[in-house]
Every structure is written in structure tokens, then in C-alpha cells.
Structure 1
Amino acid sequence: MEYEIETAHGTLFCRREGSGPILLLIHGVACDSEFFRETSAILAEKFTVISYDRRGYSRSIAEEGENDFSVWAHAEDAAEIIRLEQKRKAEEGQCPVEAGLQSDGCSADQSTGVLVAGCSAGGAVAAALATKYPELVRQVFLHEPLMRGSGELAAEQDAFWEKLRKSTEKHRIITCMMHFVNAMGGMNREKEGQSLEQQSRNLKNLELFLEKEMDSFSGLKLDDFDISVPVTVACGSDDRTGMFHRSAHQAAEAKGWKYVTVPGYHNFASDEPEAFAKCLTEVFEDEH
């Protein structure tokens, strides 16, 4: 089911599938909720899966003059989606948020948080959500989240952001896309190509990131995230040289978050939806 949420900052396009514990999926840069289209259908066998276009992306229209596209603003949007979904479940007589993966009813001491999974920049949003609204989140899964490194890796990241800024100033959007691909450490060349319409949307979404989000996301520090719920960080087996892989691994070690290696590249959820859904389900089941 596709629907829209009206907020003080604009309209959010959302999609709901399945039933069971609420699972919110948050996409990254140069994409939208279609990134999770195939994996959502699989996850819907066990979860109420909510995916959405982030503020200003594709079908989510920001209010005219809206200037806040920070990671914390995106966390606010995600929190609003969660609250409304919990309210809907309660009004329909369901347990607002089922604890664990069981359907054995509710009790007063069960957690009211939901499961959250974010990829790339969406991982940073998920981490910000769990930091700012801990009462709404029960567990977090981050696939190669956009995280600040330290030492030589921090210098490499600074150089990456500077390349993006210079290319943006010259309106070289394709060059910016190639910088991202290089930072990803490769990609699945066997994945079927996207439609021209989706490719066009992705480029517009990349432009939005470069113009309105980049300063917030590039300025994040690990100390900005204080997460009290279980966190799992996953990185691909085929992109170990990628900057996003290495910075996510380093972040997991620094914060003491659980770390797992999964198949594939940075776009794992889109490239291998069945494997991503299986990995996500196993991670959440392991905690119960």
C-alpha cells in the first residue's frame, strides 16, 4: 500500500507491506524507496515493512523554502512515520509494536520500539534516529553506513568530500556519481539496469544531497551517535577496499557494535534482495 504523510516540512511518500513487527527501511543517496522494492516484498512475509522516500527525494515533496535536510531532520521524519504506524496498529486492535518476532500478544513491559535498517547515508539517518528517539527504536541494522573515520581514513574522507564540492560547483553531476562509485569499492555489474525514469530520479536525488545534505552528513562524528539499543553493522565481502566499507568497519570497532560480513557490494539490498532479506531476518531473530 502506497500512502503519503503530511508533516510540517512537506509530504513523505511511504509504502507499507506485510504484517507483524514494524520494520522501517531507510535508503541512502542517489536512490529512493525503490532501492528496497524487491527485498521489501520478501521481508513482508514476517514484518510490517515501511519504506519511504526521504525528505525532498523523488515523491516526497519538501515545503517551499525548506532548508533543513540535515541527518537530524531526516531522523525527525522517520520518527513521525514510526509514530503514525504505531498509532494505526493500535487503532486496528493490534499490538502497536510486537516484541521480538513472536505474535503472542502484548504485555505492559514489552518494548515499544521498532526495528530499523538503513543503508549508506540511510544508515546515518537510522543511527541519528536511534540516538534522538531511543524510545521508538528496538534494534538497528546498518549496512555500510556513512560514518566518520579516524586517522588516515578521515583524511581520505575529507579529500572525497572536497572532490564532491568542487565537482558540484562546476555542475558536474556525473563526475560526482563516479566519485561515489569509486568510494563504494566497486559494484555488481551483473545487476539488471534501471529504467530511464528511475535513473533520472536518482540523479536529481544526488543533486539534492550535494546541494542540501552533504555538509550535514560529511560533518558527522562518531561521538554524535549515542545508541542504547543493539546495533549491527554489516559490510560487503566484495568491496573491502571501498571507503564506505572501511569507515563502517572502523566505526563498529570504535563503538563496540556487532559487526558482520555479508555478500556483495555497497548496494547489497538492491543487488541481492533475497540475501539481504535473509541476513536482516537472521540478525533480528538472533536478538530474541
Structure 2
Amino acid sequence: MKTGTLTTPDAEIYYEVRGSGPPLLLVNGGDGDAAMFGPLAGRLAEDFTVITYDLRGNSRSRLTSPPREQWIEEHGDDARLLLDTVAAGEPAYVFGTSYGGMIGMALLARNPGRVRALVAHEPFVIDLLPDADRWHALFQEVYELYEREGTDAAMGRFCGEIGVDAPPAPEAAGSVPEPVREMLARIRANVGTCLAYELRSFVRFRPDAGALRAARFTIVIGGEGPKTLLHRTTQALAEHVGTGTGVTEFPGGHVGFLTHPAPFAAALRAAIGDC
């Protein structure tokens, strides 16, 4: 594995590159860390040049300007600059989970020639829901709770409302390898960035349906576990894009790429080939 740092406006982006072949960019969601894609990337590196990275302001991608509210579109620009650097302008396959799927959509809409195919996994497109105003108000409450009581209280409320598990604290992870413990510590530190500067603005993103209809685009969802708010947003995206766009089930739940890396890699290969 090779690592590097890319200088972009207001940030230095940490990235990792594995394997050889056509470029495949994997984009994390909130609180995400490139190491979460490690097991999946290792399997995909047999066929692709797999690019993973920490989103700006998260983990090892430090901000070079004072923290401020962030937007999906500027993260899409980070992804384009990363492809310029690593893939030398070659069109890339892109997989994004949660916010990452939305970042992939922004990248595609602004740079359609740079994306060979896009797979969006459980994108958090809240603004497409008929009750979006209720969720926007809730996320403002979550932010205010964070300001008053800290990350644990805010994440407990947030995760309980949307139906997903919060990431475990490093001290609660039991006997795990040190790199995993380090990853969990980085993710825990990312929570403040997510709650203060990402959540409320990211969920205002509305995908360009025309750009998605014109592209090789697949929408996927975790097929196991309880139904969550992400299931609703994923279906809402399919309806937004229209023209018979369906939703494909992938192994595992919201983090199936981490919990089921081998079958998830097989499903992603198939989706890339089919979309």
C-alpha cells in the first residue's frame, strides 16, 4: 500500500492506494476513516487501483483554515483533485457509502467524464424525503445537544433516531488489534467535526437527477438487519432519479463493506459490471 497527502483549498487530504488496474475510488461517509475500507480495498486491489482517503477535517486529513460549515460539493471537488493526482485524469469507478455516495453524485454532476460508473450505498439524501423539514429540525436539535452535553449525548440521540448503531469507543472494543483501536480513536475524534460542520449542511444536498440518469449509476442498500432511515432515503433517491431506477441489495447493513468484505467485494464487482 502507498500513502500520500494531497493539498487542496483549506485542507491536506490523506490517501491510500492499493493494487493496479482501472482506478476505483472508495468514498467514506460521516465519521469515516480510510481504514474502514481496508478489508474491502484489499480484496478489490486484485483487479483495480483502489484509492481510499480520509474526508477533509477527519482523521489524518487536516484542515489548513479555521473550521467552518462544509458542503457536499466541495468534497466532490476534493475527490476530483484526488483522481487528478492518483489516476492522472483516467475515468474512475466510484463507490460511496452514506455521505460518500452523495460526494460521488456531486463529483459526477460536475465532472461526468471523470466517472466511469458510480455505485451509491445508502446515501443520506434527507432533503428528498416528504418529511425532510422534520429531519432538518431534528438535526439542529442534535447539534444543540452536542453543544450543551457533548458527543455521546448527541450521537446517542442521532443514532437512535435514524436506526443505526454508534461506533464503539476504543476502550469498549475489547481485544482488538492495535490498528483497529487506533482507527476507532480517530473515528471518535471525528464525531465533533460531523456534528458541528457536516451533518446539517450535508443533508441539504439534492442530487442532479438528470446527471444520474445519463450516467452508469447503481443505487444499493444493505439487505440485512433492521430497516433504518437510510432505507427510506435510498428509496427516495431511486424515485428522484426515476425511469425505473431500482435498488440493489448488498450484503450486510450500513457498514456491510466492513463486516462482510468478501461478499461485498463480489457484489460491488457485479454492480460495476452491470451499471
Q: TM-score per shorter chain, which class?
A: 0.7 to 0.9
Say whether the 8 Å CA contact 1:131–1:226 is kept in structure 2: yes
Which of 197, 212, 215 is residue 229 of structure 1 equivalent to? 215
- Give, in whole Å, the separation in 1 of the partners of 2:161 and 2:255: 12
Q: Look up the match of 1:219.
A: 204
- Give, in whole Å, the separation in 1 of the partners of 2:151 and 2:26: 26
Matched, 1:61 2:62: yes
Change over 3 Å in CA distance of 1:160–1:68 after alignment to 2: closer
Q: 1:86: how far off?
A: 2.7
Change over 3 Å in CA distance of 1:151–1:216 after alignment to 2: same
Q: 1:286: how far off?
A: 2.0
Change over 3 Å in CA distance of 1:175–1:224 after alignment to 2: farther
Percent sequence identity over aligned pairs:
27
Q: 1:162: how far off?
A: 3.1
Matched, 1:248 2:234: yes
Q: 1:237: how far off?
A: 1.8
Which residues in structure 2 correspond to 1:171-190 (within 5 Å)? 171-183=149-161, 185-186=163-164
Which residues in structure 2 correspond to 1:17-166 (within 5 Å)? 17-65=18-66, 67=68, 69-87=70-88, 97=90, 113-148=91-126, 149-152=128-131, 154-166=132-144
Change over 3 Å in CA distance of 1:50–1:223 after alignment to 2: closer
Change over 3 Å in CA distance of 1:173–1:79 after alignment to 2: same
Q: 1:224: how far off?
A: 7.8
Say whether the 8 Å CA contact 2:220–2:247 is kept in structure 1: yes
Q: Which secondary structure state, in structure 2, belongs to the residue aligned with residue 170 of structure 1? A: helix
Q: Which secondary structure state, in structure 2, belongs to the residue aligned with residue 75 of structure 1? A: helix
Q: Look up the match of 1:265.
A: 253
Letter matched to residue 265 of structure 1: G
Q: Look up the match of 2:274.
A: 286
Change over 3 Å in CA distance of 1:35–1:254 after alignment to 2: same
- Give, in whole Å, the separation in 1 of the partners of 2:198 and 2:235: 23
Q: Which runs of 5 or more structure 2 residues have no equivalent in the other structure?
A: none
Q: Deviations over 1:100-121 (max 9, x none)?
A: xxxxxxxxxxxxx211000011
Q: 1:253: how far off?
A: 2.2
Q: Which secondary structure state, in structure 1, belongs to the residue aligned with residue 211 of structure 2? A: coil
Aligned length: 261
Q: Which runs of 5 or more structure 1 residues have no equivalent in the other structure?
A: 88-95, 98-112
Say whether the 8 Å CA contact 1:144–1:235 is kept in structure 2: yes
Q: 1:126: how far off?
A: 0.9
Q: Deviations over 1:68-94 (max 9, x none)?
A: 62111111110001111232xxxxxxx
Q: 1:204: how far off?
A: 1.7
Letter matched to residue 244 of structure 1: L
Q: Which secondary structure state, in structure 1, belongs to the residue aligned with residue 50 of structure 2? A: strand
- TM-score, normalization by structure 1: 0.82
Say whether the 8 Å CA contact 2:94–2:115 is kept in structure 1: yes
- Please report the RMSD computed on the Cα atoms of aligned residues, expressed in angstroms: 2.4
- Give, in whole Å, the separation in 1 of the partners of 2:251 and 2:123: 16
- TM-score, normalization by structure 2: 0.86
Letter matched to residue 202 of structure 1: I
Q: Deviations over 1:221-251 (max 9, x none)?
A: 3458833312111111224520012111221
Matched, 1:204 2:154: no
Q: Which secondary structure state, in structure 2, belongs to the residue aligned with residue 226 of structure 1? A: helix
- Give, in whole Å, the separation in 2 of the partners of 1:36 and 1:163: 31
